[in-house]
Amino acid sequence: MGLFEDMERLKLRFLAAFEGLARRGVISEDDLAEIIDLVDRLDELSEEEIRERLGRFIPGDTDAHPA
């Protein structure tokens, strides 16, 4: 399996995890839509933008919240 296929599988697993959070009410449907948009646009966003947007959903990630 190539790198592209591995990346697509990773994206699907990542989205499945957040869909589970939305089903359990941990995140809102709007939050899930934002995550889906983020994954769809990964190639267009800078690493800083990705960290900033994901930082809202990953507590304790100090890299996502620079001092």
For residue range 5-25, what is the model confidence (pLDDT) as tens digits?
999 999 999 999 999 999 999
- Quick one: tokens of 49? 């933008």
Residue 7's nearest CA partner among 35, 46, 39 is 39
Residue 40 placed within a domain: yes
Residue 67 placed within a domain: no
Residue 7 placed within a domain: yes
Residue 65 placed within a domain: no
Residue 55 placed within a domain: yes
Instruction: Please give the tally of structural domains in the chain.
Output: 1
Residue 38 placed within a domain: yes
- Biggest CA–CA distance in the chain, Å, is 40
Residue 19: domain span: 3-60
- pLDDT band at 32; cut points 50, 70, 90: very high
Does residue 53 contact residue 34 with C-beta atoms inside 8 Å?
A: yes
What is the pTM for the complete model shown?
0.76
